[in-house]
Amino acid sequence: MSATPAFAPLQEALDFLELNPDVEMFELFILDNNGVPRGKLLHRDELLEVYKNGRPLPSTILGLSINGDDVENTGLVWDVGDIDCRAFPISGSLQRMPWRLIPMAAVQVSMHPQSGMPATVADPRHLLSKVIDGLKADGYYPVMAAELEFYLLDQQRDSNGRPQPARDADGQRPRATQVYGLRELEQIEPFLADLYSACKLQGIPARTAISEYAPGQVEITLEHRNDALQAMDEAVRYKRLVKGVAHKHGMVACFMAKPFDDLARLTCICMPVPARSS
């Protein structure tokens, strides 16, 4: 059996619309190979059609550079005429985004195995599914969790053009490492309160928070999941959520591996724990 679950049923959208009559806009997104969410902003009356027949997206959406430029040698640009490829919603991904100023929700999509071609082969979710299927064929069932560390940065750079840690609630800018410091978490309490609230609303299993090994560096762990695809879908939505909540609080959440050459790097990794079947 393939690790890729069935796409979301129409009833999921119908139930959401009934429970959220104030939501008028929907952010439809797919994750590209650089981990960048890309997509379109839809109106309320467009949502059901996405669940019924999918949403056409250009093949180039999965053949872009980190800066959003076409990468012609992917074969997804001129070779196929930037053809429309159908993507369908992932079950459980239709969620409100409480950090947005207007009532809005997001839905994550993935390319259909057939009608999403030729872009399907470049969909990172399908690639992960193949890896999971390979492990299961060998008698392994991966249990996965995401441990995504991030820096909270000021929206303004310093006088040398370098990124700098965001100011704490007391108005001071953190300068010391203070790993495991509790005061450091207290200083970002308003941000953490909104983050955990948004995670709860979206069903994202955010757990322990710590002050990591650099000024402004934070780690929040997510629970292990027996379904590795589910774990990574939640990690994708969590990263989007952290960035959104940080922006609401006037900060930038940076997940780059090493934004500072003289400070600790980020271990933005997913940790597989394969368990052999009995």
Summarised one tens digit per residue, pLDDT across range 106-153 is: 999 999 999 999 999 999 999 999 998 998 888 888 888 888 899 999
The answer to whether residues 111 and 128 touch, using CB atoms and an 8 Å cutoff, is no
pLDDT of residue 84: 95
pLDDT band at 272 (very low <50, low <70, confident <90, very high): low
Q: What tokens appear for 213 in the block?
A: 């090994």
Which residues share a beta bridge with 87? Answer: 55, 111
Which residues share a beta bridge with 150? Answer: 218
236: pLDDT strictly greater than 60: yes
Q: How far apart are CA 48 and CA 37, in angstroms?
A: 21
135-161 core/surface letters (b: 16 or more CB in 10 A; e: else)? bbeeeebbbbbbebbbbbbbeeeeeee
263: pLDDT strictly greater than 90: no
pLDDT band at 278 (very low <50, low <70, confident <90, very high): very low
pLDDT of residue 269: 57
pLDDT band at 238 (very low <50, low <70, confident <90, very high): very high
188-203 pLDDT, tens digit per residue, is 999 999 999 999 999 9
What's this model's pTM, rounded to 2 decimal places? 0.89
The answer to whether residues 188 and 174 touch, using CB atoms and an 8 Å cutoff, is no
Report the candidate in 106, 67, 107, 63 with the shortest Cα–Cα distance to residue 85.
63
1-16 pLDDT, tens digit per residue, is 455 457 999 999 999 9
The answer to whether residues 218 and 189 touch, using CB atoms and an 8 Å cutoff, is no
Q: What is the residue-wise DSSP string for 144-184? A: EEEEEEEEEEESS--TTS---BPP-TTSPPP-S--TT-HHH
Domains of the chain: 10-137 (3.10.20.70), 140-276 (3.30.590.10)
